[in-house]
Amino acid sequence: MKPLSNITVLECGTGLTAPYTSSLLGDLGAKVVKIEGPEGDSSRSWPPIKNGFSYYYASINRNKRNIVINLKNDLGREVFYRLAGRADVILENFVPGTVDRLGIGYRDVKRINPKIIYCHISGFGWDSPYRSRAAFDYIMQGETGWMSFTGTPETPCRIGIPITDFITSLYALSSILSAIIYRDKYGEGMEIDISMWDCQITSFFTLAQIYWVENRIPGRMGMKYIFGPAYHPYKAKDDRWIILGIATTQHWRKFCEKYGLRKLLENYPTIVDVQERRDKHGEIEEEIGKVIRSRESSEWIKLLTEDGIPSGLVNNVAEVLNHPQTAIRGIIAKTFHKKIGEIKVIKSPFKTSKFNVEIEIPPSLPGEHTDEIMREIGYSEEEIRKLKEIGAVS
């Protein structure tokens, strides 16, 4: 038994945040029903696409069944209400106010199901003057400041994954799990308002302190970091990047003493000296760079690991996916899709002594489970046929 095996989730989502959150709930055992409109989830058209199938969609829509409902149709909404009456959680990421206009908002559902947990995900939050603004990841990386401290001093840069969506999904998951615990304890459901804006600002913990304490606005530093030149990537003899993670005086002294940098140690005896002497960072980087350049990357990783000095390689995507560590952890799974056959997906990282996370339901086709789901909530075959004829479901 998985922890959420008694929980039913309705996902009215599109794109990444809500669909990924519901997949995580499904991984934990929840019975997830994804509700798509006739136009479909927007991510079904996002690359990479092969044989007309979006692997982007597949990567974030596992472990859920699929029903297509026209929520603008009165009889379609009746289908939704039947589902909502049996649900524990409803999750949506439309523009704030959309679900209320459709008649499927929190107050509408609460009349049917007083214990419902209803989670909204949006860019700026339901009480924001910016609530109607678009909130794609690229925009939010700029709006929430990430681009102001990512990249070189001359050029801003986006982080190469939809990080704002990803972080928001994890906070939405945490909020929903907390709400389930609260409901089980006190017998009351609740409405949840998750904002991408809020979620990104939580990552400012160090940057905010620099601003508040030093009265300095952190800017773009390229590959540099606030911990100084000993916390920095350097090229080895074979042109591979080695990352040093020296953030303690103990590691700093060991590194300098063992690898011919006693001169640096004399001038900067503690890691605090290294971090604070910003005007000398170029000199320190040059000396460390010469040392790292003298050996192959594999040799450096072996030596530094043996010395207990934090370090690593800059691996590319292929190297990570084919890494022995990835295989040992079993994070990649294979599943079978009706249309295209076997596909690979990345599983959730939950590992426990009581249950395993597996891909039990592969990414679904639109409406793949419509008939099955409608039978479960009491519709006859004739009723299903008629609702399909008028376009209420499909």
Last residue of a domain, one of 302, 319, 336: 319
* CATH number of the domain within which 294 lies: 3.30.1540.10
pLDDT digits (tens, 9 = 90+) for 350-386: 999 999 899 999 999 999 999 999 999 999 999 999 9
Q: How confident is the model at residue 278 (pLDDT cuts 50, 70, 90)?
A: confident
Average pLDDT over residues 76-98: 97
Asked if residue 208 belongs to a domain, the reply is: no
State how far the Cα of 313 lies from the Cα of 87, in Å rounded to an integer.
Answer: 46
Least confident among 23-27, 182-186, 346-350, 372-376: 346-350
Assigned token pair, 270 = 């503690």
pTM of the predicted structure, to 2 decimals: 0.93
pLDDT at 248 > cutoff 90: yes
Confidence at 344, pLDDT banded by 50, 70, 90: very high
Task: With respect to residue 210, please indicate whether it lies within any of the assigned structural domains.
Answer: no
Q: At 340, phi and psi to the nearest 5?
A: -120, 0
Q: Is the peptide bond before 324 cis (omega within 30 degrees of 0)?
A: no
Quick check: is 224 in a domain?
no
Q: Provide the CATH number for the domain around residue 165.
A: 3.40.50.10540
Place of tokens 């007083």: 114
Helix (H, G, I), strand (E, B) or coil at 169: helix
State whether the Cα torsion 222-223-225-228 is positive or negative: negative
pLDDT at 25 over 90: yes
Last residue within a domain, chosen from 319, 335, 367:
319
Separation of alpha carbons 349 and 347, rounded Å: 6
Residue 302 confidence (pLDDT): 97
Q: Are the C-beta atoms of 32 and 16 separated by less than 8 Å?
A: no
Q: Can you give the residue range of the structural domain that contains 36? A: 8-202+348-389
* Residue 226 clears pLDDT 90, i.e. is over it: no
Judged by average pLDDT, the poorest of 153-157, 167-171, 178-182, 221-225 is 221-225
pLDDT of residue 1: 85
| pLDDT given at position 205 | 86
User: Same structural domain for residues 245 and 190?
Assistant: no
Domain tally, the chain: 2
Q: What percent of the chain is modeled with pLDDT above 70?
A: 100
Is the CB of residue 340 less than 8 Å from the CB of residue 277? Answer: no
Last residue of a domain, one of 303, 319, 335: 319
- How far is CA 214 from each of CA 207, 218, 221, rounded to the nearest angstrom? 10, 10, 17
Q: How confident is the model at residue 78 (pLDDT cuts 50, 70, 90)?
A: very high
Average of per-residue pLDDT values in the chain:
95
Q: How far apart are CA 333 and CA 347, in angstroms?
A: 6
